[in-house]
DNA sequence: TCTGGGGTCCTAGGACCC
DNA sequence: TCTGGGGTCCTAGGACCC
């Protein structure tokens, strides 16, 4: 049987962050691993053998006992490591397929349309090559739409031993088996709320959703759900997006390593977050016209007074100048800060982004001076070469008191010369 | 004591215009 | 005195993803 006209694959790394840690710690091959979010807050990745003991998203302080009892190895997030390992995996998949879309740090879609030969065999080759070259195990799902490829991938993970980590459901019979045997909540795009609503309509399996009336789905929910159902039937509604489009908003938001009560350290944090946000802005060659700065107290502890406040500020002209952005943001912090609260988090949002040269110049509008472009360019170059924060605004401290908690951080094995893997 | 961070898309409703 | 209706733009909020 010839391959269908349109075919997608989804390659997805298994327990990605946990797998990255394990690559450099072969002594932990048989030890369950969990990786925590920033500030060692909650669980965001679990190795296969840790899943039975620890729930995804569980706060670390609640699982300490289990961790000790089961001998689970805990890691703080090490995004320098995960980002670099991700690039290696993506490069390999890109070299083996014609066109690709990197969907997230651990997932990549490929367009296999028109590829000759046995697609299952190609899937197995991808899996074997990535494992051999990076040490990261992946699953591969193959199908005629992106939503079905996601589902195939999910099945490959769920039935790891039977499938060898590769599932191809281009065949109608296999596709229908998977649809019938998958809960609708496992479908890409169906979250908790929709699941509850669909249950009321007696739509329980992926097959039920595929067979539901598209018009009804559009009326009751939205075009998004309608498209999902059509994709499950095999009608492609989503295309491969090879070039990542420029972001419409850029955000840098982080909880502090400890509660802050004074204005000064909060201003330091906001200046730091703005530095990071403006780096992202310049990296995609955009300018920003509005910013929003917000701060808040903890929201979980019932004994803590709750407060949240933010300010939206329009800039005099579209800019990517970290000096103007920081000055504006610090003014905003003063505006929103109220004494007497324990603040836990600040957020900087860059809004109304436009590509360089795209905005309409009105006669009286000032635009960013050329000297700024040169200064920002040199600063980004220096920081790119010598590390983030080498050159920074005076309002950004090197070792702040409010720094992120990262008690279980591994080395940056692949991106720092002074932290290379050592074999003795 | 301790509960992540960064995005997307869609829809509804208000403001405003003619 | 008459108090419509269609269109656009913007914003806030909801839902989802990893």
Check pLDDT > 90 for residue A424.
no
Proximity of residue A106 CB to strand C below 7 A: yes
Please state which of the ranges A41-50, A107-116, A239-248 shows the lowest mean pLDDT.
A239-248
pTM: 0.93
Answer whether residue A161 shows pLDDT above 60. Answer: yes
Given a cut of 70, whether residue A356 has pLDDT beyond it is yes
Q: How confident is the model at residue A73 (pLDDT cuts 50, 70, 90)?
A: very high
Q: Across the strands, what pairs with A9? A: A110, A142
Nucleotide C1 C1' to residue A411 CA (A): 81
**Residue A315 CA to nucleotide C3 C1', Å?**
40
Report the percent of chain A where pLDDT is more than 70: 97
Protein-covered nucleotides of chain C (CB closer than 7 Å) are 12, 14-18
Give the DSSP per-residue string, A171-213: SHHHHHHHHHTSBGGGSTT--HHHHHHHHHTT--BHHHHHHS-
DSSP characters for A386-404? H-TTSS--TTS-SS-TTPP
Sheet with A286-297: list strands edge to edge.
A250-260, A343-355, A286-297, A308-319
Q: Is A243 helix (H, G, I), strand (E, B) or coil?
A: coil
Residue A223 CB in 7 A reach of strand B: yes
Instruction: Give me the architecture of the A1-244 domain, per CATH.
Output: 2-Layer Sandwich (3.30)
Residue A363 pLDDT greater than 70, yes or no: no
Environment class of A287 (CB within 10 Å of its CB; exposed 0-12, middle 13-18, buried 19+): buried
Predicted pLDDT at A368? 83
pLDDT at A359 over 60: no
The count of residues in chain A is: 424
pLDDT band with cut points at 50, 70 and 90 for residue A7: very high
The rounded distance, in Å, linking the Cα atoms of A255 and A277 is 15
The arithmetic mean of pLDDT across residues A324-346, rounded, is 92
Q: What is the dihedral of CA A328, A332, A333, A336, to 10 degrees?
A: 180
Range(s) of chain A covered by CATH 3.30.1490.100? 250-386
**Dihedral over Cα of A227, A185, A166, A210: its sign:** negative
pLDDT digits (tens, 9 = 90+) for A123-150: 999 999 999 999 999 999 999 999 999 9
Q: What is the pLDDT of residue A92?
A: 97
Q: What is the pLDDT of residues A285-316, one digit of tens each?
A: 899 888 999 998 988 888 888 888 888 888 88
How is domain A250-386 classified at the CATH fold level? Dna Ligase; domain 1 (3.30.1490)
Give Rg (Cα) of chain A.
Answer: 24
pLDDT at A75 over 90: yes
Strand B contacted by A224 CB (< 7 A): yes
CA A129 to CA A173: how far, in whole Å?
A: 29
Residues of chain A with CATH 3.30.70.270: 1-244
Q: What's the confidence (pLDDT) of residue A5?
A: 87
Residue nearest to nucleotide B6 (CA to C1'): A251
Q: Is strand C within 7 Å of residue A360 (CB)? A: no
Question: Which residue has the closest alpha carbon to C14 C1'?
Answer: A193
* Residues 166-225 (A) near nucleic chain C, CB < 7 A: 187-195
Per the DSSP assignment, residues forming a β-bridge with A54 are none
The separation, in Å, between residue A282 CA and nucleotide C12 C1' comes to 28
Tell me: pLDDT of A365 over 70. Answer: no
State what percent of residues in chain A have pLDDT above 90: 72
Write out the H or E segment, with its range, that includes residue A63. helix A60-70
Burial of A1 (0-12, 13-18, 19+ CB in 10 A): exposed
Q: In this predicted model, what pLDDT tens digit does every residue of A185-216 receive, in sequence order? A: 999 999 999 999 999 999 999 999 999 999 89
- Residue A12, SS3? strand
A348 within 8 A of A279, measured Cβ to Cβ: no
- Looking at residue A358, its pLDDT comes to 64
The gap from C-alpha A116 to its chain's centroid, in whole angstroms, comes to: 33
Q: Give the distance, in angstroms, between residue A107 CA and nucleotide C18 C1'.
A: 9
**Interatomic CA distance for residues A311 and A334, integer angstroms:** 10
Nucleotides on strand B with an atom closer than 7 A to protein CB?
Answer: 1-11
pLDDT at A376: 93
The Å distance, CA of A224 to C1' of B9, is 8
């Amino acid at each position: 049987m010839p391959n269908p006209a349109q075919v997608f694959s989804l390659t997805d790394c298994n327990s990605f962050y946990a797998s990255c840690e394990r690559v450099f710690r072969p002594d932990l091959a048989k030890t369950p691993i969990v990786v925590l979010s920033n500030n060692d807050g909650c669980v965001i990745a679990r190795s296969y053998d840790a899943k039975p003991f620890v729930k995804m998203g569980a706060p670390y302080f609640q699982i300490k006992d289990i961790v000790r009892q089961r001998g689970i190895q805990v890691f703080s997030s090490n995004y320098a490591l995960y980002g670099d390992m991700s690039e290696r995996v993506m490069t390999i998949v890109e070299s083996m397929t014609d066109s690709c879309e990197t969907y997230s740090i651990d997932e990549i879609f490929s367009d296999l349309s028109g590829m000759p030969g046995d697609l299952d065999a190609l899937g197995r080759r991808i899996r074997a090559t990535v494992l051999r070259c990076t040490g990261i195990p992946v699953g591969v799902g193959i199908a005629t739409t992106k939503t079905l490829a996601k589902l195939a991938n999910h099945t490959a993970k769920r039935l790891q031993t039977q499938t060898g980590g590769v599932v191809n459901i281009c065949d109608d019979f296999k596709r229908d088996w998977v649809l019938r045997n998958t809960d609708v909540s496992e479908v890409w795009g169906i979250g908790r709320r929709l699941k509850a609503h669909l249950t009321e309509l007696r739509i329980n399996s992926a097959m039920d959703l595929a067979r539901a009336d598209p018009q009804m789905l559009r009326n009751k929910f939205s075009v998004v759900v309608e498209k999902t159902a059509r994709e499950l039937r095999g009608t492609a509604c989503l295309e491969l997006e090879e070039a990542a489009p420029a972001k419409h908003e850029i955000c840098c938001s982080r909880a502090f390593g400890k509660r802050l009560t004074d204005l000064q350290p909060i201003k330091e944090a906001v200046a730091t977050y703005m530095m990071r946000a403006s780096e992202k802005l310049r990296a995609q060659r955009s300018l920003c016209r509005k910013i929003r700065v917000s701060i808040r107290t903890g929201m979980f502890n019932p004994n803590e007074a709750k407060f949240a406040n933010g300010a939206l500020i329009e800039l005099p002209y579209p800019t990517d100048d970290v000096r103007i952005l920081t000055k504006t943001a610090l003014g905003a912090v003063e505006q929103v800060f109220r004494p007497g609260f324990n603040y836990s988090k600040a957020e900087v949002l860059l809004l109304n982004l436009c590509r360089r040269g795209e905005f309409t110049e009105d006669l009286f509008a000032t635009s960013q001076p050329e000297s700024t472009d040169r200064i920002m360019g040199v600063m980004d170059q220096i920081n790119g070469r010598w590390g983030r924060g080498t050159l920074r605004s005076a309002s950004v401290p090197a070792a702040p008191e409010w720094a992120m908690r990262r008690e279980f951080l591994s080395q940056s094995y692949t991106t720092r010369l002074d932290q290379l893997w050592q074999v003795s």
